[in-house]
Amino acid sequence: MIKAVKGSFKKYQEHVSAECEPSAKKAKLHQDSVGSKVDEQRSIQMDIDSAKKMLANAELLIAKGMKAKKFDDIESGQALLKEGQAKLASSLIKLEDSKKKKSCARL
C-alpha cells in the first residue's frame, strides 16, 4: 500500500503540470500579442508627435524667413512642411489601420 501511495503524488504533479502547460502557453501568446499591439500604438503615436513637431518647426522657420526676408529659410521651411505633412498622413493611415485590426480582432 505504501508503494502505491508513494508514486501517486508524483503522478499527480505531472498531471497538474501537463494541464497547466497549454493554458500557460496561451496566456503567454496573448500577453505577447497585447504587448506588441501596445508597442505598435506607442510607435505610431511617437511618429505622429514627431510629424507635429516638424510642422511646428516648419511654421517657425517660414515665419522667421518672412520676417528677415531670407528666402533660403522659407524654402527650407516649405520642404520641412511637405515632409511633415507626408509623415503625418502616413502615420494617421497606420493608426487607422491599427484601429481597424483591433476592432476586427474583437469580433
What pTM was computed for the model? Answer: 0.59
Cα–Cα dist 6/67, whole Å? 90
Q: Give pLDDT tens digits for 11-25.
A: 777 777 766 666 656
Q: Give 36-67 pLDDT, tens digit per residue.
A: 777 888 898 999 999 999 999 999 999 999 99
Integer Cα distance of 4 and 81 in angstroms: 80
Contacting residues for 74 by C-beta, under 8 A, at least 6 apart:
61, 62, 65, 66
What amino acid is encoded at 50 in this protein? S
% of the chain residues with pLDDT over 70: 69
Q: What is the pLDDT of residue 95?
A: 86
Residue type, 98: S
What are the boundaries of each domain within the chain? 2-106
